[in-house]
């Protein structure tokens, strides 16, 4: 199926690893120019971008930045605009998953989680909608949230769940504001995935014990399985979908 993404330009935060990397690859497969945002592992990210450029028709580039710094976010967006002249798709994927129970959580831990997981998407969304409105063009914004936004957390991730819950309602509010401009704003809520962020914090045995019995499909997902939903929402097949959150959790979240 032709998703109508050939020649489009997408900015993907946290695009150097895990889900973000899978999103970048699938968008590139569709002929999209991809701006791969990253914060660390520069050598690996540059090799990945080289692979995208050698393998697919679109032209990709990497831009480094700290999501907690507004100046870096400005540079990320402005660099992408200068290079490609336009951005058609914004995927707010970058995030952190720190662990601390509320009784032990510091204010700085809570604030940092909100800054990266909620404030940085707000800043980039604001830049994106003004960019599209100024150019009188339609566009797509996809925010990566989590099943935790709806289930909450009992495992020391209350600040993460709160940030993702905030991003869900922000997505709905923004979708209402900008629908008249032809800008679609949606979210994807993954469950547990096989990503470095997860495996760095949980052993395979912990994952099986904590999640497999709670997932009706009885397995965790690959990043690619979630990334296909992101590509679908970025496509011209979803022009009549806005303000929605699509759950990709293997049935862990059913609403």
**Is 52 within 8 Å of 24 (Cβ atoms)?**
yes
Displacement of CA 129 from its chain's centroid (Å): 17
Active site residues: 160
Between CA 104 and CA 94 the distance in angstroms is 25
Spatial strand order of the sheet with 245-248 comes to 61-64, 33-38, 9-12, 89-92, 139-144, 183-190, 245-248
- Which residues are 90's β-sheet partners? 11, 141
């Amino acid at each position: 199926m032709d998703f109508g993404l050939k020649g489009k330009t997408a900015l993907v935060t946290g695009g150097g690893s895990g889900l973000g990397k899978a999103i970048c690859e699938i968008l590139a497969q569709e002929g999209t120019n991809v701006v791969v945002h990253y914060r660390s592992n520069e050598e690996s990210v540059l090799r990945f971008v080289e692979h995208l450029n050698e393998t697919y028709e679109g032209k990709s580039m990497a831009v480094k930045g700290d999501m907690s710094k507004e100046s870096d976010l400005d540079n990320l967006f402005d660099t992408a605009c200068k290079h490609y002249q336009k951005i058609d798709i914004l995927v707010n994927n970058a995030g952190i998953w720190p662990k601390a129970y509320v009784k032990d959580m510091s204010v700085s831990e809570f604030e940092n989680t909100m800054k990266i997981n909620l404030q940085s998407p707000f800043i980039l969304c604001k830049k994106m909608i003004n960019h599209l409105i100024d150019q009188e063009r339609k566009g797509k914004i996809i925010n990566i949230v989590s099943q935790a936004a709806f289930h909450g957390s009992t495992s020391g991730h209350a600040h993460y769940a709160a940030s993702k819950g905030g991003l869900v309602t922000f997505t709905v509010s923004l979708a209402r504001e900008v629908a008249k401009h032809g800008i679609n704003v949606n979210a994807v809520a993954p469950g547990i995935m096989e990503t470095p962020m997860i495996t760095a914090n949980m052993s395979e045995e912990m994952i099986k014990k904590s999640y497999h019995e709670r997932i009706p499909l009885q397995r965790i997902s690959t990043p690619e399985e979630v990334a296909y939903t992101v590509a679908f929402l970025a496509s011209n097949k979803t022009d009549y979908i806005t303000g929605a959150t699509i759950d990709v959790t293997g049935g862990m979240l059913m609403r």
